[in-house]
Structure 1
């Protein structure tokens, strides 16, 4: 038989069930005819009374704070609490994983997904020290200071990797903005500025390799990889563009006077491909994809000085057939970009030793640093600077290297050479002397 025990706030009904006596609390919201129950039975009267007390306090708190409009009935309140607990359990790492999955499903190519995931793994998801704490924070608790502390820790732990650091920062910013749009958080707390490493600590080099440096590096490069390296260091081709080249793209022509010329044809949007390194079935492979930007589709003339090198490479080292890959290893497999990096680094080391030989210690150290720091991407800066100093407009120079954005050319690629700086200063000094007479 059921029995009701009335209280100042609600009542508790005692009922006999197959499992024994159970207690069912309920209450009427003051000033209304609305009655509410927890939707479950309690095994003890104390538990039922405790539920009524908590509900009374929840209502009185809403009255006191003027938030009656936001008050929820018990079942809705409990469901909202479950959602909030689940939301609070999501860490920064969990959110980043969801963001990557969303982008991969909606817009990214596989190469982009792997690149972004690798960069975030190195700086957020699988990193030791203070930088690693950020990934473990509950997403809903992240404050601006947490993001700032992560960013400072990244630079403290990795002062010489500006490119990777800034890429990770860009991805973290995008992920938090996505989380805000998905209402996982009310707003993004991430507002970080890109940084550049200090000179000597991985900063974008302010100087450039000289023509003599590049000649010596090419001479020290194994012949199989010499022409591809010349395409990167002297002609401004991107790594992906060189490694994606097919035999049909390297074209020779002879004019009426018998002069031979070569071009690298990157203009066919249907056939031209870049090669990117991906993990496929647990193994790194070079996989073809489209070129980086629309401006990348172009025709690049080979400088006449490299005609013989080009002809020799195509005759001895390119894979056979019109669609044969231009850059392959001695085993006939496609060259990985990492393998090429190692080859260039060793060649630069040998070139640096040769160029520094016989120089005073201080000068030798400067030469070694300049030459051993050479990377393939420096070729884009080198050729852009040479073309601009030769009188080309930024747009024309950009068309040669596949980037027509004049602002990008000026800011990221142009590097005033020491010789041009000295010549400019000498001209100004000469004019100043003339004006004083």
Structure 2
């Protein structure tokens, strides 16, 4: 009968409702000890009791260590949050990762145990992503792969399920057409006077917007005709955060084209306070960083005046990089001028130099004419 106990000289056996047998005894420390498992037959249960009694008689008995608790299940949500928190990354990058996780990854993988994510899950998620936003799609996949690569290094998963070839790569959804010299001139003339130098430095020195907005009087060397880039400002959750440029290579000195320098000097005299730490392009209070949103309205009007409604502020940097390539800058020179940490990043602008073939041919003809 289920629940029936068998009392013996040593220990006790009991038949469970499942039909299996449980054995227990009062140990030398006067605390009852159950067998670590149940037995198929009563004889097996009694055999275990006999072995335990022998260990006590021989003085070999020790209370067994309590079993280790089962490992907690680590979800993708918990692990990815820890992954982002422990990266040595800039606040803007962290904000970007958190956005990708919240918007694109956690709805699918958040509650899944890390070890349960498989290649079929990843392919299904990838297929559900909007192909009309290739950059977001590629960055989301790259982030998922990076998180799971770290989980693999931590021995939390046996292999990385991200196996879609080329999924981290993307082509530009929008082809950037650099501005011409004439268009830059029109845009500069159409901008409010206090922002004209910003457009000139962006276009002719190929500075990032965050670098431009953190330039200070002491960064401009008028005699040498250079601007020193050591800081950048980014907007994180609507607040300015000042840090270093995008990469270590971003800290650099950039030569200002001679035809631009007089306008920079005029800007320093008219719109920049005298202290060396004074911002070149301050906000309304004269001391805080200028909010990028302040530029959008005058920028839209200026680009419309130039017939370039497609041109973004960031495209000024692309324009400056393309013109530098057309002027004959080598890959290494482009890399240094743009503050890129790899040659590959500068390589995209070399295609513009192909357009110089006619200029080169014309120059060759002029060489022969000069000898006549």
TM-score grouping bracket, smaller chain normalisation: 0.7 to 0.9
Matched, 1:123 2:75: no
Select 1:276's aligned residue among 221, 227, 234: 234
Where has structure 1 moved over 4 Å in runs of 4 or more? 5-10, 22-36, 73-76, 417-421, 424-427
Q: Hey, what's the Cα distance between the residues in 2 that align with 1:151 and 1:417?
A: 37
Q: Could you list the per-position Cα deviations for residues 309-335 of structure 1 after superposition, in whole angstroms to 9, with x for gaps in the alignment?
A: 212221222244111122112332311
Select 2:140's aligned residue among 168, 173, 177: 168
Q: Could you list the per-position Cα deviations for residues 67-87 of structure 1 after superposition, in whole angstroms to 9, with x for gaps in the alignment?
A: xxxxxx9975x843xx3xx41
Select 2:227's aligned residue among 258, 264, 269: 264
In the alignment, what sits opposite 1:231?
201
Gaps (5+ residues) in structure 2?
8-12, 26-31, 50-63, 363-372
Cα offset for 1:96? 1.4
Select 1:203's aligned residue among 174, 178, 181: 174
Alignment coverage as a number of residue pairs = 326
In the alignment, what sits opposite 1:180?
152
Q: Hey, what's the Cα distance between the residues in 1 that align with 2:98 and 2:189?
A: 37
In the alignment, what sits opposite 1:347?
299
Q: Does the aligned pair in 2 maintain the 1:380–1:413 contact within 8 Å?
A: no
Q: Could you list the per-position Cα deviations for residues 77-107 of structure 1 after superposition, in whole angstroms to 9, with x for gaps in the alignment?
A: x843xx3xx41xx44333211211232xxx3
TM-score for both structures, normalised by structure 2? 0.72
Secondary structure class of the residue paired with 1:326: coil
Cα offset for 1:247? 1.0
Q: Hey, what's the Cα distance between the residues in 2 that align with 1:34 and 1:285?
A: 73
Q: Hey, what's the Cα distance between the residues in 2 that align with 1:134 and 1:406?
A: 35
Cα offset for 1:35? 4.4
Cα offset for 1:383? 2.5
In the alignment, what sits opposite 1:96?
80
Change in 2 beyond 3 A, CA 1:168/1:327: farther
Q: Could you list the per-position Cα deviations for residues 223-250 of structure 1 after superposition, in whole angstroms to 9, with x for gaps in the alignment?
A: 2222112212221112222122111111
Change in 2 beyond 3 A, CA 1:75/1:10: farther
In the alignment, what sits opposite 1:380?
317
Change in 2 beyond 3 A, CA 1:34/1:223: farther
Matched, 1:151 2:161: no
Matched, 1:219 2:194: no
Secondary structure class of the residue paired with 1:329: coil
Secondary structure class of the residue paired with 1:304: coil
Change in 2 beyond 3 A, CA 1:235/1:23: closer
Q: Does the aligned pair in 2 maintain the 1:144–1:191 contact within 8 Å?
A: yes
Change in 2 beyond 3 A, CA 1:315/1:121: farther
Q: Hey, what's the Cα distance between the residues in 1 that align with 2:187 and 2:91?
A: 34
Change in 2 beyond 3 A, CA 1:171/1:298: same
Matched, 1:414 2:350: yes
Secondary structure class of the residue paired with 2:110: helix
Structure with greater helix percent = 1
Q: Hey, what's the Cα distance between the residues in 1 that align with 2:103 and 2:293?
A: 17
Secondary structure class of the residue paired with 2:222: strand
Q: Does the aligned pair in 1 maintain the 2:226–2:254 contact within 8 Å?
A: yes
In the alignment, what sits opposite 1:248?
218
Cα offset for 1:264? 0.8
Matched, 1:140 2:110: no
Matched, 1:108 2:89: yes
Change in 2 beyond 3 A, CA 1:208/1:140: same
